């Protein structure tokens, strides 16, 4: 069996089971456990699985969420770097609000296994934490957007109004001098509810989002506390944000870490 074919079969087994033990996978694929470990290293780097003691669990999004898959693939390396930098801002035992953005999803993957209280409106993000016994998970209900697996609308907003969190981490679709934007009117309302519920608001975004607008205005530049971006953030934008009172954290590349 070719390596690519074996990895595809391995990923499908893990996806169907949610969690699988290494000896079971080795037996079914009729290869050594060391081969399975190497294949799992490959899948973990791709963001599809995460190894834990004695086995591996699936961390990829639902196959039905094709729009989420497409967004996840765009600027993937940048998103990984940004997520790594943002993860260092999160403290153990934090109560954390996470929206359904693709960069936020990368952050969530890095946080699985840490002692946290996680509140999210994202089915893909929630799916990650259901397999961790160290995190408490609260899923925000409401209307589920079929392409992204994100709950939005008045029920979601009402639930968020009754919660308090240490930090909220949000993704955005665009940033201009007018502020931050996203592509869905209902999503923006839910993200505003997250901002109101949090002591600290963190935006994670890659540099392609600067000087771009989108359908719905989320908030002004100064209304967030921290922005995490990759090294391609324009100097002018970094100065503008810092002048607005926003702490700017620039992610290092994998070679610098």
Domains 3-58 and 66-250 share a fold: no
Task: Please check whether residue 83 is in contact with residue 75, taking contact to mean a CB–CB distance below 8 angstroms.
Answer: no
Please give the residue that has the higher pLDDT: either 239 or 184.
239
Has residue 240 got a pLDDT over 90? Answer: yes
Residues above pLDDT 90, as percent of the chain: 55
Instruction: Answer positive or negative: Cα dihedral of 177, 180, 185, 189.
Output: negative
Query: What are the pLDDT digits (tens) for 188-212?
Result: 999 999 999 999 999 999 999 999 9
Please tell me the distance from the alpha carbon of residue 37 to that of residue 110, in angstroms, as a whole number.
Answer: 19
Of 184, 187, 194, 189, which Cα lies nearest the Cα of 160? Answer: 194
Please tell me the distance from the alpha carbon of residue 137 to that of residue 108, in angstroms, as a whole number.
Answer: 12
At 67 the pLDDT is 46
- Computed over every residue of the chain, the mean pLDDT equals 88
How far lies 98's CA from each of 54, 151, 201, in Å? Answer: 28, 12, 10
Please tell me the distance from the alpha carbon of residue 233 to that of residue 247, in angstroms, as a whole number.
Answer: 14
Query: What are the pLDDT digits (tens) for 90-145?
Result: 999 999 999 988 899 889 988 988 999 999 999 888 988 886 788 999 999 988 88
Helix axes 185-197, 154-161, angle to 10 degrees: 0
At 54 the pLDDT is 65
Has residue 44 got a pLDDT over 90? Answer: no
Task: Please check whether residue 99 is in contact with residue 118, taking contact to mean a CB–CB distance below 8 angstroms.
Answer: no
- Across 179-195, average pLDDT: 95
Q: Which residues have C-beta within 8 Å of that of residue 167, sequence separation ≥ 6?
A: 89, 90, 94, 95, 96, 97, 198, 199, 200, 201, 202
- Across 2-21, average pLDDT: 81
Has residue 79 got a pLDDT over 60? Answer: yes
Of 86, 163, 78, which Cα lies nearest the Cα of 120? Answer: 163
Query: What pTM, to 2 d.p., does this model score?
Result: 0.74
Q: How confident is the model at residue 254 (pLDDT cuts 50, 70, 90)?
A: low
Q: How confident is the model at residue 45 (pLDDT cuts 50, 70, 90)?
A: confident
Which of 71-75, 203-207, 247-251 is least confident? 71-75
What is the CATH code for 3-58?
1.10.10.10
Q: Between 3.40.50.300, 3.40.50.1360, 3.40.50.720, 3.40.50.2300, what CATH number should domain 66-250 receive?
A: 3.40.50.1360
Q: How confident is the model at residue 15 (pLDDT cuts 50, 70, 90)?
A: confident
Residue spans of the domains in the chain: they are 3-58, 66-250
Q: How confident is the model at residue 256 (pLDDT cuts 50, 70, 90)?
A: low
């Amino acid at each position: 069996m070719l390596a690519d074919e074996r990895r595809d079969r391995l990923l499908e087994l893990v996806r169907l089971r949610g969690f699988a033990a290494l000896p079971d996978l080795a037996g079914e694929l009729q290869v050594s456990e060391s081969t399975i470990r190497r294949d799992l290293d490959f899948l973990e780097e791709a963001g599809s699985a995460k190894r834990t003691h004695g086995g591996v669990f699936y961390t990829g999004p639902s196959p039905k969420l094709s729009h989420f898959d497409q967004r996840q693939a765009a600027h993937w390396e940048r998103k990984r770097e940004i997520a790594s930098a943002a993860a260092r801002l999160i403290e153990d035992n934090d109560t954390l609000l996470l929206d359904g953005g693709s960069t936020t999803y990368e952050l969530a993957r890095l946080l699985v296994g840490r002692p946290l209280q996680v509140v999210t409106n994202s089915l893909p993000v929630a799916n990650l934490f259901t397999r961790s016994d160290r995190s408490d998970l609260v899923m925000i209900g409401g209307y589920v957007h079929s392409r992204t697996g994100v709950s939005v609308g008045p029920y979601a907003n009402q639930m968020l109004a009754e919660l308090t969190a240490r930090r909220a981490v949000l993704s955005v679709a665009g940033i201009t001098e007018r502020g931050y934007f996203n592509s869905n009117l209902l999503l923006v309302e839910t993200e505003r509810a997250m901002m109101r519920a949090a002591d600290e608001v963190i935006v994670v975004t890659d540099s392609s989002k600067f000087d771009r607008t989108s359908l719905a205005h989320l908030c002004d530049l100064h209304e967030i506390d921290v922005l995490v971006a990759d090294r391609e953030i324009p100097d002018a934008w970094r100065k503008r944000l810092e002048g607005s009172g926003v702490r700017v954290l620039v992610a290092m590349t994998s070679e610098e870490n």
